[in-house]
Amino acid sequence: MEFSNDQCSHFVAAQLVEWRVITCYNRQMKLTVRRVGNSLGVILPKNTLDEWGVGEGDQLELTERGIRPAARGGLSHQALDQLKRRIALAVVRSFTPREIRAQMLANLHRWKKQGTWGPAYDEWHAIAQSEDDGALFAVMLGHDENAVRLRQSMPGVGLLPEAEVRKLNEEAGG
């Protein structure tokens, strides 16, 4: 079950070490909203708090999808690449290779004009100008070292709606 914005504004939360989403119900128990002073809050089971390594005064982030722990140091390199692959997969599922190349070339042109050209952009430019769909998909979706390296600076920005990218980012964190 998801929280409405009104319901979410009344929860007292604790920061969690792991990225997990807490919603009104977990698999083992129903959580109840209770009065805490002049506010409302949820009491989490002690064994859950112990497992997460959190205590009084710690904080959680409230998102449209529920309550989750605040980020600690961001995603690992591997988790970040998995997120970039998921974004690339969403792009491949939604757009033709021609549309993907056009957006990439437009971004690369703009970035070069702004003076933000990086070493991998020459490689992306060559891939975007070629008609080889296999080469394009290999770097967007591949697991090899070259694909992982190039995905760190993929010029496909602007193809997916912001809400979809936000959802993929939230899923990567939780």
Residue 5 has pLDDT above 80, yes or no: no
**pLDDT digit string, tens, across residues 43-82:** 777 776 666 566 777 776 666 666 666 655 556 778 888 9
Mean pLDDT of 105-112: 94
Q: How far apart are CA 90 and CA 159, in angstroms?
A: 10
**Domain range list for the chain:** 5-69, 77-173
Lowest mean pLDDT among 37-41, 66-70, 132-136, 155-159: 66-70
The helix (run of H) or strand (run of E) holding residue 41 is strand 39-42
Average pLDDT along the chain: 78
pLDDT of residue 51: 62
The helix (run of H) or strand (run of E) holding residue 34 is strand 33-36
CB 84 within 8 A of CB 152: yes
DSSP 8-state secondary structure symbol assigned to residue 158 = T
Task: Return the exposure string of 91-123: e unless at least 16 CB atoms fall within 10 Å of the residue's CB, then b.
Answer: bbeebebeebbebbeebbeebeeeeeeeebbee
Residue 6 has pLDDT above 50, yes or no: no
